[in-house]
């Protein structure tokens, strides 16, 4: 199903290219690239970086909630199927593309299908939007981390200056009446002390910047800068801490949760299958969306990280291993969360369903801290929990910003090749300034808007076009030959069918369903007005629009008739990577 110009090569771009009869034409000018590219110091640096990017806060808050909401144990069936036929093939595709072409998300398109280069610009803009809100969530965790260094955690009782008459502490109390107006100490700490969202009436009046959160965010970006400024040599070392520490903490919290009274109630609620849910379309949509956002293809991060690999690295094995680790982490995180929810239900003397209503950040900043506050050794568990959250978030930030850095530096090497430190400083400064609106009293409303419109729909559409461009325009046979030149064997029929048909259909299914099933956007008691939804669509369009804009630009500025222009715009430049494991040279094909 690939669209190729008759004169374009259809064989493998391997070292045996000069003897291939497909190329018995006059020499064609091609880009020559001598590689002074950074390399991973160790294979584990790369693996931990990929795992650190893929395993993020969403694994801890999103998967457990979606799992119980969509049928408990029964949800694992659509989740695994969507992973096998959609998520993992796309994950493998991105790793292979990055490793073969050894370049970032913008310049890679001249080697695949030049007219789709706008995808690279869209990816960079989406990554910027992510950095505007995602690091603010890490800043909230840092604020909690600082607040945890006290003998009595500040969200334990209702005796603080920020508490209201509605504050109701049911732990250690008898005959406590819980009404629809009741608020736990943890909820009021989050909304009235950390966010101070009560000082904002909505997005039309977000109020001033919280200087405490701005200081936390500044510290976060300082860590990010000094982790990324020297390239994968430094970030590859940092992830040995940030990617492994969360697993140590998860294990400790899992053991502690399993020993709490009522933990079994939470586990039963988490995994009890509701088979009738499998007949609902929304369950399959949620499974597809969860696996896509969990593994993270389409964000350009896997392209960037894989581009620093040796040419013959086994990216197939890497894709399988890291995907498995990611999915298992999500599954285990569910036990960590729901053992504690079962404990809270036991203490409140209510059903688990009544305490499992929080989702998203509220699950991590209200529900779980509330349970921790009433454990023996609460200070210790609070500290390690928020350390885990900070490290989970930092890994994903490293990946997201590295995608931008690699893409832009590879596109403009003549200006940026020896100025990485300055470029990273400028990028981090832009991200910090772009995040200021999320640090206001109404910043949580901005975070929600950016998450829903700046990323969700746009990145799925970008991923869909990327899969189409590679499988249909670049050509599945050519792509398979690229993989063969790296690994020594071609991908099997399963992978080819997934890349050509199933994975694009998987993404199209998510896109169509998201447009057909749009729920009102709310946060706490705030209903987003219509004008904010319009602003959200404009934010989403501001990244995706560069794809058609670049297509028009490329067609207009390419000389020749329309047919000739299309042929040039759809045909990849003929470049041939050398097979050295430590370097890459792009040599002309005679």
Q: How far apart are CA 476 and CA 1, in angstroms?
A: 8
Q: How far apart are CA 157 and CA 154, in angstroms?
A: 7
Q: Is residue 375 exposed (0-12), middle (13-18) or buried (19+ Cβ within 10 Å)?
A: middle
**Structure tokens that stand for 203 in this block:** 């997005």
Show the tokens assigned to 200: 């904002």
Full 3-state SS string of 457-507: HHHHHHHHHHHHHHHHHHHHHHHHHHHHHHHCCCCCHHHHHHHHHHHHHHH
Helix (H) or strand (E) holding 586: strand 586-587
Annotated binding residue at 444? Answer: no
DSSP tag of 85: I
Contact 338, 64 (CB under 8 A): yes
Q: How many other C-beta atoms are found inside a 10 Å radius of the C-beta of residue 426?
A: 11
392 annotated as a binding-site residue: yes
Is 326 annotated in a binding site? The answer is yes
Q: Is 7 among the annotated ligand-binding positions?
A: no
Crossing angle (nearest 10°) for helices 232-242 and 378-411: 160
Cα gap 69→72, rounded to integer Å: 7
Annotation-wise, does 54 bind a ligand?
Answer: yes
Q: Is 467 annotated as a binding residue?
A: no
- The answer to whether 55 is annotated as binding is yes
Alpha-carbon distances of 451 from 92, 211, 424, 447, 476, rounded to whole Å: 26, 23, 24, 6, 33
Count CB-CB contacts under 10 A for residue 425: 14
Give long-range contacts, CB 8 A cutoff, 24+ apart: 227-231.
227/394, 227/398, 228/398, 228/401, 228/402, 228/405, 228/424, 228/428, 229/420, 229/421, 229/424, 229/425, 230/420, 230/421, 231/38, 231/420
543 is in an annotated binding site: no
323 is in an annotated binding site: no
Annotated binding site for Na(+): 52, 54-55, 59, 294, 326, 392, 395-396
Annotated binding site: 52, 54-55, 59, 294, 326, 392, 395-396
């Amino acid at each position: 199903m690939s669209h190729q110009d008759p004169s374009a090569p259809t064989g493998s771009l391997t070292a045996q290219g000069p003897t291939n009869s497909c190329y018995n034409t006059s020499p064609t000018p091609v880009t020559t690239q001598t590689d002074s590219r950074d390399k991973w110091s160790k294979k584990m640096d790369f693996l931990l970086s990929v795992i650190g990017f893929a395993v993020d806060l969403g694994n801890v808050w999103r998967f457990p909630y979606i799992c119980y909401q969509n049928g408990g144990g029964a949800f694992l069936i659509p989740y695994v199927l969507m992973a096998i036929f959609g998520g993992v093939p796309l994950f493998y595709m991105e790793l292979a593309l990055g490793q073969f072409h050894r370049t970032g998300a913008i310049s890679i398109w001249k080697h695949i299908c030049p007219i789709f280069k706008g995808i690279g610009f869209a990816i960079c803009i989406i990554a910027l939007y992510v950095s505007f809100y995602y690091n603010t969530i890490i800043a909230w965790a840092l604020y909690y981390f600082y607040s945890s260094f006290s003998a009595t955690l500040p969200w334990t009782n209702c005796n603080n200056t920020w508490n209201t008459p509605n504050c109701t502490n049911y732990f250690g109390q008898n005959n406590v009446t819980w009404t629809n107006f009741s608020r736990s100490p943890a909820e009021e700490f989050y909304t009235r002390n950390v966010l101070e969202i009560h000082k904002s009436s909505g997005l039309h009046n977000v109020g001033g910047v919280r200087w405490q959160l701005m200081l936390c965010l500044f510290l976060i970006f300082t860590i990010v800068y000094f982790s990324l400024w020297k390239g994968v040599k430094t970030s590859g070392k940092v992830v040995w801490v940030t990617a492994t520490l969360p697993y140590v903490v998860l294990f400790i919290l899992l053991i502690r949760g399993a020993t709490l009274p009522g933990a079994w109630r939470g586990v039963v609620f988490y995994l009890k299958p509701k088979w009738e849910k499998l007949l609902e379309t929304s369950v399959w949509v949620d499974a597809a969306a969860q696996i896509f956002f969990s593994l993270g293809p389409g964000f350009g991060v896997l392209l960037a990280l894989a581009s620093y690999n040796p040419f013959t690295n086994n990216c197939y094995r890497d894709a399988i291993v890291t995907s498995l680790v990611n999915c298992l982490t999500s599954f285990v995180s569910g036990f960590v969360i729901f053992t504690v929810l079962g404990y809270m239900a036991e203490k409140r003397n209510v059903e688990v369903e009544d305490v499992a209503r929080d989702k998203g950040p509220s699950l991590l900043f209200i529900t779980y801290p509330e349970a921790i506050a009433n454990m023996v050794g609460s200070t210790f568990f609070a500290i390690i929990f928020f350390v885990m959250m900070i490290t989970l978030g930092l890994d994903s930030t490293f990946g997201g910003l590295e995608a931008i850095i690699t893409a832009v530096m590879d596109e403009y090497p003549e200006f940026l090749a020896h100025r990485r430190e300055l470029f990273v400083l400028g990028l981090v400064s832009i991200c910090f300034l772009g995040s200021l609106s999320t640090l206001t009293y109404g910043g949580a409303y901005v975070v929600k808007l950016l998450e829903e419109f700046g990323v969700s729909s746009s990145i799925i559409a970008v991923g869909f076009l990327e899969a189409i461009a590679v499988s249909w325009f670049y050509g599945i046979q050519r792509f398979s030959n690229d993989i063969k030149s790296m690994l020594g064997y071609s991908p099997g029929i399963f992978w080819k069918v997934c890349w050509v048909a199933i994975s694009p259909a998987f993404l199209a299914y998510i896109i169509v369903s998201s447009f057909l099933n749009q729920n009102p956007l709310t946060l706490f008691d705030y209903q987003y007005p219509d004008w904010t939804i319009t602003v959200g669509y404009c934010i989403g369009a501001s990244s995706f629009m560069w794809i058609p804009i670049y297509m028009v630009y490329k067609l207009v500025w390419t000389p020749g008739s329309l047919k000739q222009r299309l042929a040039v715009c759809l045909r990849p430049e003929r470049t041939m990577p050398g097979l050295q494991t430590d370097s890459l040279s792009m040599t002309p094909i005679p």
